[in-house]
Chains A and B, each alone.
Chain A
Amino acid sequence: MKKIILLSAMLFTAAIFISISATEDIVNNTIPGNEKYVVPEKVQAIIENKCFDCHNSNSKNMKGKMKLKFDKMAELKTHKLIGKLDNISEAVTEGDMPPKKAIKKYPDLKLTAEEIKTLSAWSNGLISKIAGE
């Protein structure tokens, strides 16, 4: 009986660790079979700090969630992935994202010129790799 309790306690602890590491990996998708979607650490940091709060599948921001979910990017088919990446590049370059309203409330969300460059270079680079254009 004691062994069973001990065993289930161990399993429980293991489960917690697994779920924690799963949540940590939400942006840096490494879904087996999809090697197309690659997110370098530098890009991942920007996304986590400035985009992910609205653009994830559990977001309370319905519009943000509808348009883009960073935790689901690796599951997208090629044409969808390209569409999303090109939208990201455009939105950050033209200053449409993060939304002005959000920046007013949380000034830290504003992307620096350097970050905009990093994000658009990343998405454009990925697009050319995937689409061959």
Chain B
Amino acid sequence: MNKLLVALFAVFVIIQFIPANLPVIVKKNRDDLMATVHVPDNIAQMLKTSCYDCHSNETSYPWYSYVAPVSFLVSHDTREGRRKLNFSIWNNLSKVKKAKYLDNITEEVSEGEMPMVIYTYLHSGSKLSEKDREEIAAWADNYAESLFDD
């Protein structure tokens, strides 16, 4: 039993030396959604608290995200999140891409797929209520529609 504990601890120590490559934090992004488009305050607040950690370059990493093996998970999820949708480069996207992302936001948020459960569990205040979800979905849909006023 003692040996097992020692072995586990050794593994824990060793994996600390494997680089997790957490995606780099960039605080100021001039092409960010909030910097280039008027987003209503309540929506902006919710996006910042519930989405921006993974879906922007402004990630703030809690202390435990530097500790392996949690660091591997955080690194993977943040990288994937930014790849799927990155609010920090919003202004560089074409109208078509914006429409796609806004459609995805509407669906994922209103169906409760996003934010991920593991995220809301660990980040107090990031959980979205039914009303929050409706508001975000309505904002995304209206914004997308306004891009194609014809």
Residues of A within 8 A of B (CB): 66-67, 77-80, 82-84, 86-87, 90, 127, 131, 133
Contacts and interface: CB of A to CB of B under 8 A. Distances in A.
Interface string B118-150: 000000000000000000000001001101101
SS of B interface (majority): helix
Given A78-B150, A79-B144, A79-B148, A131 B103 contact: no
Contact of B99 (A66, A67, A86, A90): A86
Contacts of B103: 79-80, 83-84, 87
Nearest to A84: B103
Contacts of B104: 83, 87
Nearest to B100: A86
B24 interface: no
Interface residues of B, number: 18
A86 B148 CA distance: 15
Contacts of A133: 94-96
B111 interface: yes
19 contacts: A67-B107, A77-B145, A78-B150, A79-B99, A79-B147, A79-B148, A80-B103, A80-B141, A82-B96, A82-B99, A82-B148, A83-B99, A83-B100, A83-B102, A84-B103, A87-B100, A131-B96, A133-B95, A133-B96
B95 A90 contact: no
A66 B111 CA distance: 8
Contacts of A80: 99, 103, 141, 144
B97 interface: yes
A28 B101 CA distance: 26
Contacts of B107: 66-67
Contacts of A131: 95-96, 99, 148
Contacts of B148: 78-79, 82, 131
Given A87-B104, A133-B96, A79 B145 contact: yes
A77 B96 CA distance: 14
A86 B102 CA distance: 12
A1 B101 CA distance: 62
B96 A86 contact: yes
A77 B150 CA distance: 12
B72 to A, nearest CB: 22
